Structure 1
Amino acid sequence: MTLGQVSLLFLCFHVLAPLLCTTSNAALLQAFNCSTSDNYTATSAYAANVKQFLAALPENAVSNNGGFYNGTVGEGVDTVYGLAMCPADYSRGDCGDCLTAAAAASNDDGLQNRCPGSRTVLAMFDRCLVRFSDNNFFGTPETGVVLALSGERVMAPGVYSPTVEQAFKDSTDRAVISPQRFAASAGHPYVFVQCTWDLSADKCRQCLQVLSANTSGMISIRREGQRKSYSCALRYSNTSFMVVPFTFTAAPPGSRTQPIGQAGTSALHGHSKAETVGGAVGAVVAVVCLVALICYVFKLRGQRNTKDLRKFSYSELARATSNFSEQEELGAGAFGTVYRGKVEGIQQSKNQNVEGVQKSRKVKVESIHVAIKKITMTIPKETSSQQVPVDTTDVRVRIEQDKKDLELVRKDFYNEIKIMSPLHHRNIIRLVGWCKENKSLFLVYELMESGNLEHYLYPKHGTMDTDLHGITASGAILLLDWPKRQNILIGVTTGLVYLHCECGERLLHRDIKPSNVLLDKNFNAKLCDFGLVTQFSHNHTSRTTKIVRGTPVYIDPTYVDSQRACQQNDVYSLGILLLEVVCCERPEITDTGHNLIHKVSTCYLGNQILNAADTRLRGNDNFDRQIERVLKIGLACVQREVKQRPHIRRVLECLTNETAQLPFFPTPSCIPLTLSESETTAASSSRNSNAIPAAPPSQSGTAAGQDAGVTPLLP
């Protein structure tokens, strides 16, 4: 292979791999352990060796070795034994960034700041594992579970659980004989297992068996889950996720350790050095480019564009809804109505060989039930200039405002199509198609059988079918018990993690509230109403908006003050939702403050936080413990200082893992017990219009919106 060919292939990798397989988000510290005895000083030889070890990790573990490194720095009593490994479900680029952050002295989560002076440190990030010690730990497994994550509840445990357990067993058998101590299943259920490469086959199996045994009780009730120790990890899911294979072959356990700075000797014989390097580089680069291509394909899977959406005709939607009859109405707002409908499947062509001749025939796909949002683009008659004197200034102003409102609704329509077209996630409502005809705009969604969360928190009728919807407690109907509420909150948070961190562009929802959380027949949550979403690249952390639009009681006060939209605005709104779902009390902004924040924080500061919860949920010790955690997480999300609020990934981790360390607990000075100036303004307006000043009404009847300048994508 010529030098030019090698350079071209490396160019292919370095251009494609970062774009296709990285997400450029900050790594999340999931677990850590720092020794507290016999600490070293900042000027000692051991401190210098630790810095050298950490600084070299990105190159040693990723650039030179494809995802793993263990080695030593220094000698004698100042020797640092160090190890780093990349997880298989993140790209090597993400891992390299994680290792760089772990080594950075300027980073709060950097190990030198997190564990100052500690001679032994074990740190588990979501994207990398780092260990170092003054004792040789190579080959000795750490089997204690330090991270346990779980997802939504499974509906068919009798079928799902045995298949996952068998997949774990098969993958473990393959991992222990792999030099990389790694294996993944080829199909459903999706599983991968992984050990640090310094472990022998027996030690790797021992570690994975501990994790598998710890997971067995969860498989029967959860669709997905993870377990991690400082020496091994496993993950399973009923939906596919990215796995990046390791491209370098590790030496046998026990022979990998080498001082940093020394070159390893080649294990190949009978070839010249040039042939060995050229052949190895060529093979490895070819595999790496193939991996980059695979990552690209996986990234494209599940993503759609506007061409994939179905364009319906007005007559199709009228037929599907019995000509938009009242009997099919699901709900109505200021600018439209939502109907239940059943649309015919799309006819698809299928080639068939008939007597040696290829013929095409039409095949009709089964009809589907949908929710059809009809957005009327006409000014209400009561505000028409023909109904009032022409010289009435107030009416003219109102008509002009109506026109502006309708233009914003039109922009929201196009924006929702643009934003939702590529989205594909179990906790995001699926947009099926659209229609623009007869002065009306239509958005067609998948139908969610159970309606929205608000209907169950605040039912309009005193009784419902308890066999279907819940249990009766304390003489009042309880439509959502605690397991359902917990599952819904996890689903909403998972959807936000997808929007904030896992899309091609960073998305902020900006209108999180119970009416925008839809529920399927199993009470799994899906976020909806994407007309207000703000979009920007992962390289930016915020975006200036021209108008503050949203539902006042859920809007982050710092967003009102700055008019800069950022991820923490959604975290604040999620915090209000967490408190609302647990307390089952509508949020309000009063003269004394935000009622939910005031109520929960007062109970928290009085060491009686459970007194704030819906009393119908109380009585089970396990549930009480979970409810208390959610209330504390909610308080952490609504802290006045944006920097003190947890990252959305951290929120999800704390909701799904009861052993995870809770976010920073707010002190009385951090909890917004009193109103800020922006909240006082919002309180005054919300009692009259339920809208922030200058924010026009949205399709759902509350204030909402989107940045100006959305370009229509449709003819």
Structure 2
Amino acid sequence: MVIVPILLLLLLPFVGAQWLVCGDSGNYTSNSTYQANLMLLSSTLPNKAVSNTSVFATATVGHAPDIIYALTLCHGDITDASDCESCVAAAFKDAQLSCPYNKEVSTYYDYFMLRFSNHNFLLANSTEDQMKWINLRNTLNFTTGGDSITHLLFMLLNSTAQAAANSSRRFTTSRLGVNIVPTVYCFMQCTPDLTPHDCAACLQVVLKHTLKFLDGAQGGRILGTRCSMRYELYHFYEGVPMLAIPVVNGTTPAPTPATRHNSRKRVLWIIAGVAPLLSILLCVICSVVWTRRRRQGKVNLNDQAATNRPEENELVWRLEEKSSEFTLFDFSEILHATHNFSKENLLGQGGFGPVYKGQLPDGMQIAVKRLASHSGQGFTEFKNEVELIAKLQHNNLVKLLGCCIQGEEKLLVYEYLPNKSLDFFIFERNRTAFIDWNKRRVIIEGIAQGLLYLHKHSWLRIIHRDLKASNILLDQDMNPKISDFGLAKIFSSNDTQGSTKRVVGTYGYMSPEYASEGIYSIKSDVFSFGVLLLEILSGKRNSGFYQYGDFLNLLGYSWQLWEGGTWIELLDASIAKEICTSDARRYINIALMCVQESADDRPTMSDVVAMLNSESGILPEPNHPGYFNLRVSKTHEFFVPCSNNDVTITEEPHGR
């Protein structure tokens, strides 16, 4: 299979429509064996190419260490093969003049290319870089049409790529005319020795680079050793297009006698052009329908995610997200940054997969979440998280730098926060000294502000659904940042709650109505915040099967102390002497108001922020919390709410 290119060279054209890449694999000397082999190659390869009906040839000359591998390919639309022969011969001379004594040179012209090297780049299964890319774009951009032009251009390119991969000579010319832009002409070609599958894979990479580097351009090319692409607003190739997508002008003139005799031929061209277009339009329609149904909660996300091919997902996503503020990283870049996901770079294990520390070439440190294939977070959840975070801007939300998709690999790239997550400090006795009451107060208020932004001040109302200590990351100044939006839900400003049959979340943080009935709302996040607040105050976990007093969870224990007037005993010993009694009572009161069993009784995050910032005033007495009746019995039996929903529960790890 053709290896995905890892090197992209952005070069300006030389005089005479020629582009050269002088390699870095060493030099040869004058009158050396390597030079003699190169001279022999230059005299035999051009003739070998024109002897092939595909006007293509590869060759190997000499023996190590002076062996040379070469490849040349002329465009499939040329009409005189002898022109190709003379051009390739001249290209050898140009290469030696422009890159004197270089052992490796790649050179590209309008109608052919040549590459030679002392490394074997001809092997399809070689781990060596298979393609040297040159990106050349028209300096003018489309000024009208916007996304419509982008989608139409993508349809043309995708149709041309499919046709080229399935043709016997692995090349196709095409044309698309629509009423909103001038006619677009396109050319794509692979080396004929590639299989249809490998040619398609190579051209998929071409399309990816086209969307990234030629976005909005009126013309351009991506030139590679194994495949290439060019599109322009003028007819730059020889002959009529092999794939003609009809012009759409709104009206169709009646046929005249002079054109009627060509009707059959025209029908064949139209069928050849329309078939791929209809296929793509069908995919687009299905995608739109799926998106609308997903937003209405009528489609199983896991089933839908399984229907998408990863490479198609990435290409469509690049189209949709070209104006977003995040970056789609190359997989090779992430591998290098994380030392191939080494154990030394492992930061921890999240709900959907491990998180690694990395460093980009410019020195920036990053955190990479590598989603496990069995994690339950498919393409839908992945895209959901990226699109959400990319649009969220708040000091108490983690900053997304970008993401990466390759095959089954799905990676999220965040800013690196050196102080890990909140649970690293509050649940470990030997670390609680690093997080005094002053720091905890700042963390509590920061989390509250972040949730308030999600619920009220962001572009849409967002419910996190997985707020917990391990999803609160801390920066170098111990400021909190809410992370992990894989389970988040978007509401319109008029919606107040939703429901699902697929209950997902973390044991101990889910509200009773969500765990038992699948009903979620902003009050679900308020419940999770209340649990988290009790954990920060006490230094104890709510999740897991611990015995606190007469209860099997922190909520019941907190309620018992509150009812008995001994709530001061709830405080973590490391902060008990730092916090004044009135503040302690106020914070515990707010926490118990947030975890009340009835969602209607719980405050909003606006109310919570106001109560946290107000040191005066009498707070309402809370009602009993959810799950408060998980009481220890002689037989150690306990009540757990049951549900007919499909429940996915994550238990928090009890140590790191």
What TM-score bracket applies, with the shorter chain setting the length?
0.3 to 0.5
Please give the TM-score of this superposition, normalised by the length of structure 2: 0.46
| Bigger relative contact order (CA 8 A; separation at least 6) | 1
